[in-house]
Chain A
């Protein structure tokens, strides 16, 4: 039985934006851009990692949290471990008892990612967050897919 990580925190600095992206409906539609806050944080964390922006949370400004249970659903928990593994390049980080360290790495990348999104929305005016974020992805070349990645499916691990 593995231990459970503490809740996943995010800085209050971005709270208005988080609410807009995951809780409030997009103008002219009846859906939110991200289905849940968890989904938004996963995207932000991977974006933060891609852009190499790890940003400790400014605890003075207060935090909001998502319960860890939320992250045990779907692929979110795997992403926390993946980012921790990628960051530390040390499998020890996946050992039982290291969960808080993983969570912290995830939070800081997500925080960095949120900052990148905020900048993109400032640039684009923020009225249509979906367009602003798409513009950002296009600018940074995320939408050009070349299949040059090494195929990892054939690799085996001896246990």
Chain B
């Protein structure tokens, strides 16, 4: 999809009819929209989402107030967004409207434009989903201010779903769910005879457990989402605090300590894991003392030494007997005394297999002994390191609490209030974590129970001819389901490989520092310095990482646009709409990042504000700039003694805020059209 034009009518803060034509030129592929915060940048992003899918991003408040307030007062009832776009060399127009009086009716149409005439498509929703699948859309219409959302332990879920979205996993996921349902169906169909009464009881127990587990999993997913949101709110407060001079210092210590806390937490997990692993990995060494001593003694006893392995080699003795001649030249007639004597050696001869096994056992003994000496130390070390990590964690927590107290004490702006709110949010986070923990425990208990019951049902079903067939069908379902799950995992693994190398390549092109990417198999992404230390989350580097991740997703989607796969949806080529992508980049990164943005996608729309140093951005993308617009704020309030706000573009003055206006809302002003 390439965006051609967006037309807004009374949509949210856009009063009346207003439009933007995007640059479609492959070289000059960047359209910049300048806007200060609160003027309508995010609304523009959401207009696209709303038009295509009828929904908006999570951070968009009051999503039901679609119609502009002043338009409503003037008696108008319909808000709409139209998007003209090109897809596979054909032109389309998509339009969604919201009528406050109409309770139902058609709200969304898509038409193909052939020689100026519009041909309505029968199922517009389905069509849009083939152009850009809904799951993928939010990765193209991207809120850069929250690029860091993609980082860290708590956002594994988002990253994983992002990868799955771009992979087009929805088909295979649905198939897995369906197979589970079919499998349960077969279980319920096991005919009821006296012998199967027990199966029925177990079956209904199993159903109950399944329901419980599903419910718990849903709650966890819900909580995880809430966790991410709360986390985000805290981050927002942190950003605000960082920009307040009185709190700056404290906030920067807090940032540092938070990093320390996260690292301590990671270590806690690591060493706790080591302690848990210890028994499984070292238990056998610990209990090998007696066997080592005894076997050693036995191997060492003189009378065995001639026999283990026996001095006679079986193959050699056989050769002599066959040749009927000893190596000393004496004849060995078959049946003679000499021949029998030699042949009797065979009973005691060590053959090759035995020799190999003896030497293996010997080597194993040596290693058991060595490991046994080391094993207790490993446990002590892991425990000591765990205790250290625990200590560091609690010390850091105490220091953080102190800073929080100090911040509350500053009577400045509304810092104290924010600090208070922050404290509440932290409390909420802890509560969420606690809930997630206890739900997880419930799930594992229930799953354990399930496994047991399932096993029992299978056993019972085997015993009864009538029921065996259902058992077989069930097993088949479970088998296919397992197979699909395995395939999904391997597809994901492939995708991760592609993304990893994509992100690495992008980072190398945009940073002058040596940065390495770490992306674990469970989607924890972090940036590490050349010396292996993880960079703090709030850094510009990490924001860059968020962008690089998005760019890698875009690349991956493009790569898969012609994928022929019966399980996964093909990818797509889509415009990249970036809001606020330079929030925390320092000057050094700003320019390089801006240079790289035009390469991120076939078409790029940038929404920027003054605070993001758009001069640098402008200079860096100059060669790729295809169109520029300015969002102007209209206020019904009088000017009063406010200073007039204006900006110069290309030597021409543009007002950025207008007072004594006829409406409260936003106007889009073209600086240079495409």
**Residues of A at under 8 Å CB distance from B?**
2, 16, 19-20, 23-29, 31-35, 39-40, 42-43, 46-47, 49-50, 75, 78-79, 81-83, 85-86, 89, 91-92, 94-96, 130, 133-134, 137, 142-143, 145, 147, 149-150, 152-153, 155, 157-159
Contacts and interface: CB of A to CB of B under 8 A. Distances in A.
Interface of B: 272-273, 276-277, 279-281, 283-284, 286-296, 298-300, 304-305, 307-309, 311, 313, 350-351, 353-367, 369, 372-373, 375-376, 437, 441, 444, 447-448, 451-452
A31 B358 CA distance: 35
Nearest to A43: B283
A27 B295 contact: no
B358 to A, nearest CB: 6
Name the 3 nearest CB pairs between A and B, nearest first: A78-B364, A96-B353, A94-B357
A157 B369 contact: no
Contacts of A143: 286, 376
Contact of A39 (B280, B313, B356): B280
B279 A33 contact: yes
Contacts of A159: 309, 313, 350, 355
Chain B binding surface, main DSSP class:
helix
A25 to B, nearest CB: 6
A20 B448 CA distance: 8
Nearest to B367: A75
Contacts of A75: 364, 367
A24 B291 contact: no
A34 B304 CA distance: 37
B263 to A, nearest CB: 20
A122 to B, nearest CB: 18
B294 A31 contact: no
A75 B522 CA distance: 30
A57 B357 CA distance: 26
A94 to B, nearest CB: 4
Given A85-B361, A96-B351, A149-B369, A142 B287 contact: yes
Contacts of A91: 304, 307-309, 350, 354, 358
B290 A153 contact: no
Nearest to A75: B364
B69 to A, nearest CB: 50
Nearest to A82: B361
B287 A46 contact: yes
A158 B311 contact: yes
A152 B364 contact: no
B277 A31 contact: yes
B290 A28 contact: no
Contacts of A81: 357, 360-361
Contact of B364 (A32, A79, A133): A79
A96 B281 CA distance: 30
Nearest to A35: B280
Contacts of A19: 451-452
B359 A46 contact: no
Contact of A33 (B280, B293, B356, B369): B280
B279 A95 contact: no
A14 to B, nearest CB: 14
Nearest to A88: B298
A47 B273 CA distance: 24
B287 A155 contact: no
A20 B354 CA distance: 37
A79 B308 contact: no
Given A142-B286, A149-B293, A133 B354 contact: no
Contact of B444 (A24, A39, A43, A158): A24
B108 to A, nearest CB: 44
20 contacts: A19-B451, A24-B447, A32-B280, A39-B284, A43-B283, A75-B364, A82-B291, A82-B295, A82-B361, A89-B298, A95-B351, A95-B354, A130-B276, A133-B279, A142-B286, A142-B287, A147-B373, A149-B292, A152-B300, A157-B308
Contacts of B276: 26, 29, 31, 33, 130
A50 B287 contact: yes
B295 to A, nearest CB: 5
Contacts of B364: 75, 78-79, 82
A34 B280 CA distance: 4
A12 to B, nearest CB: 10
Given A94-B361, A159-B355, A133 B290 contact: no
B460 to A, nearest CB: 14
A80 B376 CA distance: 24
B221 to A, nearest CB: 17
A16 B292 contact: no
B384 to A, nearest CB: 15
Contacts of A26: 276
A44 to B, nearest CB: 9
A130 B382 CA distance: 15
B361 A152 contact: no
A108 to B, nearest CB: 15
A78 B292 CA distance: 13
Nearest to B369: A149
A27 to B, nearest CB: 6
B636 to A, nearest CB: 58
A10 to B, nearest CB: 15
